[in-house]
Structure 1
């Protein structure tokens, strides 16, 4: 069950398109902030709302990476390890999302799934930002044009959710 993007997502997504890795880093920061908000949330309703936003943001982020960013990077870098590993990590993230999306936060097992999702996302983000992004930026890939395509796709995906 997908929910409508909240104002923070809409505000971030309607801003001017930016360089591809900067856009992805902004998404990473937003998602990290949402996980921190979850840790502070005290009610089931608050947790459910935050988890819904985390799932939406992660799903859209993964989709634009898989549709636009990863193919561009893979082609330019002739990569045979970073992109396949990232795609496998996305599959695991999607599995965890499916386990918590639209589910009532019902205690320690739910909280444990969110914690594992947070840790997994943190690991994935670290690899992207420390390994993939520097290589992509050092290549001849037009990061601004790629960012514009990603921004347009993100807008379309958010509009579908509205």
Structure 2
């Protein structure tokens, strides 16, 4: 169940990126981008505070996976900071957003194809006990 919540977050951000790509107005693009940023920030916080510690505790392999995932989160945070402070033109903004989207897409693919199956195999039931409720509570506090 916790993994399904995280996968839903992935799908939501993917949909927001599609909407962003369809949007023509620069100010509306920035508003949509801010929604992506907030969704990412909450999702990353949930993973880093609730999900990743469980995966890390399994083995050195789990530890390595999570270190890489956190590095990817930090890379996206760098893009978010750049985009929030951006004062250039539309084309440059869209290019930077596409770069960030590629990092997120790669991260999502790795999580869904490697990290999530690893956690289901090695953590199993422990992963479900109480974690879904904690995730939903954090989402409610962060209001996404």
- Common fold: TM-score over 0.5: yes
Give 1 or 2: higher helix fraction: 2
Deviates more, 1:68-77 or 1:127-136: 68-77
d(CA) in 1 for partners of 2:74, 2:24? 30
d(CA) in 1 for partners of 2:5, 2:88? 30
**Does the residue aligned with 1:76 lie in a helix, a strand or coil?**
coil
d(CA) in 2 for partners of 1:102, 1:60? 20
Kindly report the root-mean-square deviation, in angstroms, between the aligned alpha carbons of the 2 structures: 1.7
Task: Provide the aligned length of Structure 1 versus Structure 2.
Answer: 141
Matched, 1:131 2:111: no
Q: Return the match for 1:44 from 26, 34, 53.
A: 26
Residue in structure 2 matched with residue 110 of structure 1 by the alignment: 93
Matched, 1:66 2:48: yes
Maintained 8 Å contact 1:38/1:47 = yes
Structure 1 residues 115 and 38: CA distance shift in structure 2, 3 A: same
Q: Deviations over 1:73-127 (max 9, x none)?
A: 1113442311000011111010001111264673211111100011100000000
Matched, 1:122 2:105: yes
Maintained 8 Å contact 1:48/1:105 = no
Deviation (angstroms), 1:45: 2.3
d(CA) in 2 for partners of 1:80, 1:138? 15
TM-score by length of 2: 0.90
Asked which structure has the greater RCO (Cα within 8 Å, sep 6+), the reply is 1
Maintained 8 Å contact 1:77/1:139 = no
Residue in structure 2 matched with residue 156 of structure 1 by the alignment: 141
Q: Deviations over 1:121-145 (max 9, x none)?
A: 0000000000000011112342322
Q: Which runs of 5+ in 2 are unaligned?
A: none
